[in-house]
Amino acid sequence: MMLQFQKKRPRCVSSDERDELHTKLQQKIRTLQQKLRRTKTKMNTMHDVIQFLEEKLVLNPKESEALLSTLNNTQLIFLYNFQDNIKSAPSARRYSDEIKEFALTLYFYSPWAYKYVRSLVPLPNPSLTRKWSSSFKCDPGFIDEAFTSLSQKVAQSNNDKDCCLVIDAMSIRKQTI
């Protein structure tokens, strides 16, 4: 016994539905083209930063080639952010997620080191880093961000699959003054 399948008939679509679908697809095309154009512009500006340093005789051509070949994306983002923020007022500065992460980590390890690096490089005000760190939920129990970070680490690397979770008990009491 052979199974026979009937071909599906194309569904009749009204002209209004077709026009609506067409406009949605056109909008999607426009946004993707804009995203691609912005990415290309960003790549060009990374190259322009190094070329600018070369023109100002800070770097010679060999050094600029070495810089382009050795810098990874995070370092280029840091340089690009540095270039943008050095020209703007402190209240008008914008920071990428990588810069925010760097600033939070540095401030966590040593506020004095953060103050020193901030005197050399335009980094966010320490009050802003404290505001960012206060947005994390640190309620008693397990912190979701820790597990998210661990799962991302496992997904990125084929080698690091073992993890040790250390749990300590502590009493939480309401303090009355």
pLDDT greater than 60 at residue 1: no
pLDDT greater than 70 at residue 129: yes
- Specify whether the CB–CB gap between 46 and 80 falls below 8 A: yes
- Do 103 and 131 have their domain in common? yes
- What's the pTM? 0.41
Query: Can you give the residue range of the structural domain that contains 22?
Result: 18-58
- pLDDT bucket at 46, cuts 50 / 70 / 90: low
Number of domains in the chain: 2
- Do 79 and 122 have their domain in common? yes
pLDDT computed for residue 64 by the predictor: 65
Q: What percent of the chain has pLDDT over 90?
A: 5
- C-alpha distances (whole Å) from 169 to each of 36, 106, 141 are 51, 28, 10
CB atoms near residue 19 (< 10 Å): 11
- Do 94 and 54 have their domain in common? no
- Mean per-residue pLDDT over the chain, rounded: 74
